Copies of this chain bind each other. A is one copy, B any other.
């Protein structure tokens, strides 16, 4: 007996929704296979720690084994989500939590799965990213406020999301947070993001995909201080809009960036972004994901 779970990549912030918005996208998935065993063991062919204490999925497993008095679990992990702003560790954490829940028939509530995945991330990575964890589990577009206050919404229209992860660039979440605390946004920037966030939600509710997409490019909290972590940020932005993108922003803490566009323009946008980085990137076209799935 074993359970195989696929968990998608996620775009945190989604432009102006700093620490609040998250979007699940298809195309990149982590796969976790859980099988009952003695103790917790990590098996993987990817270059990630196999010590459960130092592995996000491992930390989730250790907590769940402890809390539910389980004999133990072997997790086979296949990383499909690139590292660097696409919720890679959240994907492993969510996949592990759901796989263990199913494998042992725990029947956990959504809120408990969220808690285990987020706490696993906190233990392994220093802090939980609910704006990745929640959309990864729930799919679609998520507004996150707290464990008891969040919403999942459907993204309207025929939008494509093009992600580009520059090769050989690492941004730690600590670094990305530090620069923001050193240069907090002005009141005008805050008002800009407040109105953008409010209108994005209103646009989703009305099925107005274009307004939603255009506002994604209007962030003034994260972008001004984090663009320095993205090589050729200005060129990438210009290339995206030049190729028909409706919006462009940093994904999570970066260095991944993403453009949102009509589906029919996605190939052009992807090519333009790849060219701007002279091909030194991982890139893909995504639709919206329905969230974690048991294979």
Contacts and interface: CB of A to CB of B under 8 A. Distances in A.
Interface of A: 16-21, 143-145, 149, 151, 153, 180-181, 184-187, 190-191, 193-202, 205, 211, 221
B144 A195 contact: yes
Copies of this polypeptide in the complex: 2
B143 A190 contact: no
B191 A19 contact: yes
11 contacts: A17-B194, A18-B190, A18-B194, A19-B195, A149-B199, A151-B199, A180-B187, A184-B186, A190-B190, A197-B198, A201-B205
A187 B181 CA distance: 7
**5 closest A-B pairs (Cβ-Cβ)?**
A205-B205, A145-B195, A201-B201, A20-B195, A19-B191
Contacts of A143: 195, 198-199, 202
Contact of A194 (B19, B151, B186): B19
Nearest to A218: B145
Given A180-B187, A194-B193, A195-B143, A202 B151 contact: yes
Contacts of A221: 190
A5 to B, nearest CB: 28
Contacts of A211: 149
A194 B191 contact: no
Contacts of A195: 19-20, 143-145, 149
Nearest to A205: B205
A16 B195 CA distance: 11
A20 B184 contact: no
B153 A202 contact: yes
A171 B192 CA distance: 25
A174 B18 CA distance: 29
Contacts of A20: 191, 194-195, 198
Nearest to A189: B190
Given A18-B190, A145-B196, 7 more contacts: A143-B195, A143-B202, A151-B202, A180-B187, A190-B190, A198-B200, A201-B202
A13 to B, nearest CB: 10
Most buried by B among A21, A186, A190: A190
A197 B199 contact: no
Contacts of A193: 190, 194
Most buried by B among A18, A193, A198, A201: A198
Contacts of A194: 16-20, 193-194, 197
Contacts of A153: 202
Nearest to A193: B194
